[in-house]
């Protein structure tokens, strides 16, 4: 296996990194205070092809690999994990439509998705079903024109902000086989939103409950086939877990880079902090942790790109390992900054707050352990 990135992949990383440093990093703290991301950013993002990273070129996407996507999200997260992760959700929806949607679905939605004229969110979690996603209660009743949707989705990134919501809903029997995927476009008389959530991290992302009350949805907004929604969701989450891991890695790399700069400038007992052997050892440990996490992540992405039979297990392992390690490194970086790390000025406390949720969403890390162990026992 060749572990080196190609020249094209290095260029992709550099492009995303430069874009983030110019268009996101200078405003990240301000956007966090405002609790929103200016939509003008997305038109700039789409010009780079980042609106449909792994949507096929035929439908306006960039047609890149899952490995390429991890490079983009790692680079963007070095400017702000919250903003980069929001973009990853939009791209997850695009990948699901491209992979599982009908030709009509693709013609209807992918052009606006890829050029980011419309922002897409993903609705799976409900107040009563988080980790047990197949127990969801949101129901879509069949009509002559399509569906009437009733139910509630919680913790939705982009709630009351996005233009369309890919929603997992029950169209049939209990369990996974009765779940279908529908796209609900805003505005819709039956679509409403709760108040924006007050969160520990990811504050730049508007997050709200999404409510469906006799929400009429055209039949053509069904993605793929009825009863296949849960399988689409699980397949989408494989790539989503890689992206969330990549974003955590980028945030942690920023924290480590910031620590190197701080320790070079900061002096104590007559010399700079980076001259103390104990702190040098700490930096070495942090570097080893991030490099091993990066290698594991890219291996998992390669598994998904090559459709390896154990790709889902590797995606779960990467999500578990990389997000845990990244949070650990970010927390250690805060400690190295001392009291200054606790202040907003240095951006380290924001990284710690942002990365904590990476251990929870796209399936908690406890659920990752469940996925891994079950696959081990059936191999």
C-alpha–C-alpha distance, residues 292 and 285, integer Å: 11
Model pLDDT for residues 64-85, shown as the tens digit of each residue = 999 999 999 999 999 999 999 9
C-alpha–C-alpha distance, residues 147 and 354, integer Å: 37
Give mean pLDDT, residues 132-158.
Answer: 95
Using 50, 70 and 90 to split pLDDT, how confident is the model at 3?
Answer: confident
Model pLDDT for residues 362-377, shown as the tens digit of each residue = 999 999 999 999 999 9
Percent of the residues in the chain that have a pLDDT greater than 90, as a whole number: 96
pTM higher than 0.85 = yes
Give mean pLDDT, residues 353-364.
Answer: 96
83-93 CB burial, b ≥16 within 10 A, e <16:
bbbbbbbbbbb
Which candidate, 236, 287, 291, 206, places its Cα nearest to that of 69?
236
Kindly write down the DSSP assignment for every residue of 199-249, as one continuous string. Answer: -SS-TTS-EEEEEEEEEEEEGGGEESSTT-HHHHHHHHHHHHHHHHHHHHH
Place of tokens 């013609």: 107
Domain residue ranges of the chain, discontinuous segments joined by +: 7-114, 120-229, 230-378
Q: What is the pLDDT of residue 246?
A: 98
- Quote the CATH superfamily of domain 7-114: Acyl-CoA dehydrogenase/oxidase, N-terminal domain (1.10.540.10)
Residue 262 neighbours by CB distance under 10 Å: 20
Give mean pLDDT, residues 171-195.
Answer: 96
Model pLDDT for residues 287-339, shown as the tens digit of each residue = 999 999 999 999 999 999 999 999 999 999 999 999 999 999 999 999 999 99
Average pLDDT, whole number, for the chain? Answer: 96
Q: What is the pLDDT of residue 52?
A: 98
Angle between the N-to-C axes of helices 311-336 and 348-356, in degrees from 0 to 180, rounded to the nearest 10: 150
362 classed as catalytic: yes
- Quote the CATH superfamily of domain 120-229: Butyryl-CoA Dehydrogenase, subunit A, domain 2 (2.40.110.10)
Model pLDDT for residues 203-212, shown as the tens digit of each residue = 999 999 999 9
Q: What is the pLDDT of residue 128?
A: 85
Interacting residues of 208 by C-beta distance below 8 A, sequence separation 6+:
156, 159, 160, 161, 193, 194, 195, 196, 197
Model pLDDT for residues 234-265, shown as the tens digit of each residue = 999 999 999 999 999 999 999 999 999 999 99
Note every long-range contact of 100-105, with CB atoms under 8 Å and residues 24 or more positions apart, other chains counting: 100/181, 100/223, 100/224, 100/228, 100/232, 100/235, 101/223, 101/224, 102/223, 102/224, 104/220, 105/220, 105/223, 105/224
| Catalytic hit among 332, 362, 366, 379 | 362
Fold classification of 230-378 (topology level): Butyryl-CoA Dehydrogenase, subunit A; domain 3 (1.20.140)
**In terms of residues, how long is the chain?**
379
Give mean pLDDT, residues 164-174.
Answer: 96
Q: What is the pLDDT of residue 1?
A: 60
* Tokens (6 digits) for 32: 């966090």
């Amino acid at each position: 296996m060749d572990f080196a990135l190609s020249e094209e992949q290095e260029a992709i990383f550099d492009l995303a990194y430069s874009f983030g440093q110019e268009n996101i990093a200078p405003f990240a703290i301000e956007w966090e205070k405002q609790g929103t991301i200016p939509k003008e950013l997305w038109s700039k993002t789409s010009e780079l092809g980042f609106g449909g990273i792994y949507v096929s070129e035929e439908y306006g996407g960039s047609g890149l690999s899952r490995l390429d996507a991890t490079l983009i999200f790692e680079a963007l997260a070095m400017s702000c994990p919250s903003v980069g992760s929001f973009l990853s959700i939009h791209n997850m929806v695009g990948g699901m439509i491209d992979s599982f949607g009908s030709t009509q679905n693709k013609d209807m939605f992918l052009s606006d998705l890829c050029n980011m004229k419309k922002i897409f969110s993903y609705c799976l979690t409900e107040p009563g079903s988080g980790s047990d996603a197949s127990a969801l209660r949101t129901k879509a009743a069949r009509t002559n024109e399509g569906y009437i949707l009733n139910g509630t989705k919680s913790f939705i990134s982009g709630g009351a902000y996005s233009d369309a919501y890919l929603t997992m809903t029950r169209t049939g029997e209990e369990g996974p086989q009765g779940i279908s995927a529908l796209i609900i476009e805003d505005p819709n008389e039956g679509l409403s939103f709760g108040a924006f959530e007050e969160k520990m991290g990811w504050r730049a992302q508007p997050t709200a409950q999404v409510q469906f009350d006799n929400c009429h949805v055209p039949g053509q907004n069904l993605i793929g086939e009825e009863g296949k929604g849960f399988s689409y969701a699980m397949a989408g989450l494989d790539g989503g877990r890689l992206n969330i891991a990549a974003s955590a890695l980028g945030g942690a790399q920023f924290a480590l880079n910031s620590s190197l700069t701080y320790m070079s400038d900061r002096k104590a007992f007559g010399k700079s902090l980076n001259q103390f052997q104990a702190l040098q050892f700490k930096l070495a440990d942090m570097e080893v942790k991030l490099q091993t996490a990066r290698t594991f992540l890219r291996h998992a992405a390669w598994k998904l790109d090559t459709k390896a039979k154990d790709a889902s297990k590797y995606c779960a392992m990467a999500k578990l390992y990389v997000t845990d390690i990244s949070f650990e490194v970010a927390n250690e970086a805060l400690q190295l900054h001392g009291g200054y790390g606790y202040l907003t000025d240095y951006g380290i406390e924001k990284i710690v707050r942002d990365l904590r949720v990476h251990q929870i969403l796209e399936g908690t890390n406890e659920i990752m352990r469940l996925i891994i162990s079950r696959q081990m026992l059936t191999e």
